[in-house]
Structure 1
Amino acid sequence: MERNNFLKDIAQVMFGNAALLLSQVLTGFVLPKLMSVESFGNYRIFMLYGTYAGLLHFGFVDGIFFKYAGKNIDDIKREEISKYFSVFIVIEAITSMVIISTSVLFFSGSKYGFIFFTIGIYSFVLNVVTFFQYFSQAIMRFGLVSSASLIQAATISIIIVSVLVSKLVGFSNGVNYQTYVLMYIGVYCVLLVFYTFGYKNGNRYNKISITGKYGVNGISEVFKIGLPITIAYQISNLTLNLDNQFVSMFFSARTFAKYSFAYNLISITVSVVLAVAMVLFPYLNKLGKAAALKQYINNIDYILLFAYASLISYYPVRIIIQWFLPKYQESLVYFRILSPGVAITLCITAIVSNYYKVMDDNIRYLRNGCISLVITLILDTVVYFTFKDVIAMAFVSLVELAIWYTIEDVSFRIKYNIKNFSSYLYIGLMVVAFEVATGMQNVLLSFIIYVCLYIVISLLVMRRSMKVLSQKLINIVRY
C-alpha cells in the first residue's frame, strides 16, 4: 500500500510538472520571440534576482516543512499552524515594504528601480505561496500541489499565447519586460487565491487562517530548524547562479540575454526531475534513517541515468533554435557546455540535499556549501579577469558544479560509511561523451554517437543499477 501511495504521489506531481514543462517550453522558446534581445535580458535579470527572494522567508517555510513532514493533517492543531501562518504574513509584509521603499529611495527612475520594486511585491506573494506549497508537501497533499502546478501552467500558457496571437494579427509588436513581469507576478497572485481556498473549503484541511493570537511558543523552533536549510539552499542557489551574476554585471544586457537563455533551456530539464524530490523527502523521513541510507547509492544512480538520457533533448532544442530563434544561435554554444551539469545539479538538489535533511545534518550541508561558494567565487573571479570571455565562464561553471558535488557527496559518504564511487566514473565519462558527440557538425551522426555512448557507458558502469531499475519498472507495470 505504501509503495502504491508513493507511486500515486509521484504520478500526481509529475503530471503537474509536465504541464509546467509545457508552459516553460512556451516561455523558453516563444517569449524570446515576443521580446527584443535587450528586453529579454532585462526580464532574465528580474528572474535572476527573483531567485534570491526565497531567502526572504528566513527559513520559516523550510522549518514548517521539516516540522510537519510525513504527519497526518488530523494530528495537526489548527491553532498552532494558524499562529505560524499569521506571524509569517507579518514578517513577509514588513520585508516586502522595506524592499519597495529601498527601490523608490535609491533606484527611482532606473531599470533596477522597476526590477527591485517588483521584487518587493513578488517576494511577498511568492513566499506565502511557498508556505502553502511546502505545508501541502509536508502533509503529502500532493493532489493540491499538482492542481496548483496545472493552474500555473495554464495561466502562463494563456498569457504567452495571447501575446503571440496579438502579435500575429498585428495588434501589438510583442511585449516588453515590464508588462510581462507584472503578468508573471499576477500568476502567483492566482496561485495564492487557489491555495487560500484550498485550505478554506470547510473539510478536514480547513486548518490555516489569520489569527491575532500570535504568541511566541514554537516560533523560534521553526526558525531554528529552517534557517540553516534556507541559508544552505541560498548558498546552493548562489553557487549555481554566480556565473550568471558575473555575466549580468560585467557584460552587456544582450550578451546576458543569450547566456541566460541557455540556462533557461536547462531549467526546463531540471524542473521535471525535481518533481521526484518534492515527493521523496516526506517518504524518506517516514522510512527512517537506516532504511533511507540503504537507498542512497541507488537513488544517485537512477538520477544520473535519467539525467544523461534526458540530454538527448539537446538535439531537438538545437534544431528548434536554429529554425525558430536564429538570433539566439550563440546560446547553443553555452547550452552545449552547460548541459552535462544538469545531472550533477540534480544529484545535489534532488538527492544529496534531501539526505542531509533526513539525517538532520543540515549544518554540515551548510558548511560544505559555504566552502563550495568560496571556491566558486574565487574561480569565477580569476576566470573573468583572466579571459573576460563568456565561454570561459561557462566551462568553469561546469568545473564548479563537479567540485560542489564532490564536497557534499564525499562528506556524506565518509560520515555514514557509504562506499561504491562508481557514480564519479560515470559522470566523468558521460561529460566527455556528450561534449565530444555534440561537437560534431553532422547532427544525425552526433545524435547516434551520443545514444550509443550512453548505452555502452551505462551498461559498463551502471549495470547493477540498471538491472535493479529495470526490475522495479517491470514490477510496477505488472502491479
Structure 2
Amino acid sequence: MEDNNFFKNVARVMFGNAALLLSQVLTGLVLPKLMSVESFGNYRTFMLYGTYAGLLHFGFVDGILFKYGGKNIDDIKREEISKYFSAFIAIEAITSIAIMAISVFLFSGSKYEFIFFAIGIYSFVLNIVTFFQYFSQAIMRFGLVSSASLIQAATISMIIVSVLVSKLVGFSNGVNYQTYVLMYIGVYCVLLVFYTFGYKNGNRHNKISITGKYGVNGISEVFKIGLPITIAYQISNLTLNLDNQFVSMFFSARTFAKYSFAYNLISVTVSVVLAVAMVLFPYLNKLGKAAALKQYINNIDYILLFAYASLISYYPVQIIVTWFLPEYQESLVYFRILSPGVAITLCITVIVSNYYKVMDDNIRYLRNGCISLVITLILDTVVYFTFKDVIAMAFVSLVELAIWYTIEDVSFRVKYNIKNFSSYLYIGLMIVAFEVATGLQDILLSLIIYVCLYLVISLLVMRRSVKAFARILKIRTALFLG
C-alpha cells in the first residue's frame, strides 16, 4: 500500500511538473523571441542570482522538512508550527528590506540596481512559498503541491502568450526584462495567496497562522537542523552554476545570453524528473535507514535510465531552435555538450542528496560539496585563463559534474558498504554515445543511432535494473487496469 501511495504521489506531482514543463517550453523557446538578446541576457542574470535567494531562508525550510518529514498532520501542534511560521516571516522581511537598501546604495544607476532590488522582493515571496511547499511535502500533501505547480504553469503561460499575441497584432514590440521580472515575481505572489488559502480552509490542515509567540529555543533547533542542508544545497547550486557565473562575469551579455539559453533548455528536461525528488525524502524517511539503503543502487539506476532516455528531446529542440530562434543557434553547441550532464545532476540532486538526509549525514555531504566546489573553482579558473573560450567552459563543466558525483557517491558507498559500480560504466558509455550520435549532420540518422545505442548499452550494463523496473511497471499496470 505504501508503494502504491508513493507511485500515486509521484504521478500527482509529476503531472503538476509536466504542466510546468509546458510553461518552461514557452519560457525557453518563446520568451527569447519576445526580448532582444541583451534583454534576455539581463533576465537570465536575474535568474542566475535569483537561484541564490534560497540561501536567504538560512536553513529554516529545510529544517521544517527534516523535522516533520513523514509525519501525520494530526500529530503536529498548531501552536508550534504557527510559532515557526511567524518568526520566519519576520526574518525574511528584514532580510528582504536589507537587500533592497543595499541595491539602491551600492548599484545606483546600473542594471544591477534593478536586478538586486527585484531579488530582495523575490527572496521574500519565494522563501515563504517554499515554506508552504516544504511543509506540504513533509506531511505528504502532494495534491496541494501539484495544484500549485498547475497554477504557476498556467499563470506563466498566460503571461507569455499574452505578450506574444500583443506582439503579433502590433500592440507592442515584445517585453523588456524589467517588466517580465516583475510579472515573474507576481506569479509567486499568486502562489503565496493559493497556499495561504490552502491552509485556511477550515479542515484539519488549518494549523498555520501568525502569532506573536516566537519561542527562540524551538526555532533555533529548526535552524540548527536545516542550516547544514541549506549550505550544502547552495554549495551544490554554486557548483552547478559556476561556469554560468564565469561566462556572466567575463564574457559579453550576448554571449552569456546564448550560453544561459542552453541551460534554460536543459532545465526543461530536468523539471519533470524533480517530481521524484519532491516525493522521495518523506517516503525514505518513513522506510527507515536499513530499508532505504537496500534501494540505493536501484534508485540510481532508474534515474540514469530515465535521464538518458529523456535526452531524445535534444532532437526536437534542435529543430525548433534552428527554425524559430536562429539567433540562438550557437546555443545548440553548448546544449549538446552540456546535455549528458543532466543524468549526473539528477543522480546528485534527486538520489544522493536525499540519502544523505535520510542517514542524517548532512555534514559529510556538506564537506564533500566544499571539496567539489574548490575543484570546480580551480578548473574553471584554469580553463578560462588558458582558453578564454565558452566551449571549453562547457566541456569542463561536464568533467566537474562527474568529479562531484564521484566524490559524493563513492563517499556514501564506502561508508555504508554499498557495492556494484556499474552506474559509472553506464554514465561513461552513454556520454560517448550521445556525443558521437549528435555529432552526425543527418538528424534522423543521429536519432536512430542514439536510440539504438541507448537500448543496447542499457540492456548490457543495466540488465538487472531494467528487468526489475519492467516487473514493477507490469504490476502497476495490472493494478491500474484491474
1:8 Cα offset (Å): 1.4
1:352 Cα offset (Å): 0.2
Counterpart in the other structure of 2:32? 32
Counterpart in the other structure of 1:459? 459
Counterpart in the other structure of 1:307? 307
1:217 Cα offset (Å): 2.6
AA partner of residue 249 (structure 1): M
Deviations 1:291-350 (A, max 9, x none): 000000000000000000000000000000000000000000000000000000000000
Counterpart in the other structure of 1:72? 72
Counterpart in the other structure of 2:361? 361
Deviations 1:374-428 (A, max 9, x none): 0000000000000000000000000000000000000000000000000000000
Q: What SS class does the counterpart of residue 14 from structure 1 fall into?
A: helix
Superposed counterparts of 1:17-416, under 5 Å:
17-416=17-416
AA partner of residue 389 (structure 2): D
Distance 1:303 1:4 in 2: 19
* 376-385 or 103-112: bigger deviation: 103-112
1:4 Cα offset (Å): 1.8
1:106 Cα offset (Å): 1.0
Distance 2:266 2:7 in 1: 26
Distance 2:88 2:471 in 1: 46
Distance 2:221 2:271 in 1: 31
AA partner of residue 341 (structure 1): G
RMSD: 0.5
Distance 1:294 1:262 in 2: 37
Distance 2:346 2:3 in 1: 23
1:355 Cα offset (Å): 0.2
Deviations 1:344-370 (A, max 9, x none): 000000000000000000000000000
Gaps of at least 5 residues in structure 2 are none
Distance 1:133 1:62 in 2: 11
AA partner of residue 80 (structure 2): E
Distance 1:389 1:284 in 2: 43
1:66 Cα offset (Å): 0.3
Deviations 1:78-100 (A, max 9, x none): 00000000010010000001100
1:451 Cα offset (Å): 0.5
Deviations 1:155-193 (A, max 9, x none): 000000000000000000000000000000000000000
Gaps of at least 5 residues in structure 1 are none
Distance 1:404 1:100 in 2: 34
Aligned length: 479
Q: What SS class does the counterpart of residue 213 from structure 2 fall into?
A: coil
1:271 Cα offset (Å): 1.1
| TM-score using structure 2 length | 0.99
1:109 Cα offset (Å): 1.6
Q: What SS class does the counterpart of residue 216 from structure 2 fall into?
A: coil
AA partner of residue 21 (structure 2): L
Q: What SS class does the counterpart of residue 347 from structure 1 fall into?
A: helix
Distance 1:294 1:170 in 2: 60
Deviations 1:197-241 (A, max 9, x none): 111111101111110111113111101110000000000000000
Distance 1:460 1:193 in 2: 50
| TM-score using structure 1 length | 1.00
Distance 2:116 2:10 in 1: 36
Q: What SS class does the counterpart of residue 170 from structure 1 fall into?
A: coil
Distance 1:399 1:63 in 2: 32
1:154 Cα offset (Å): 0.3
AA partner of residue 88 (structure 1): F
- Misfit runs of 4+, over 2 Å: none
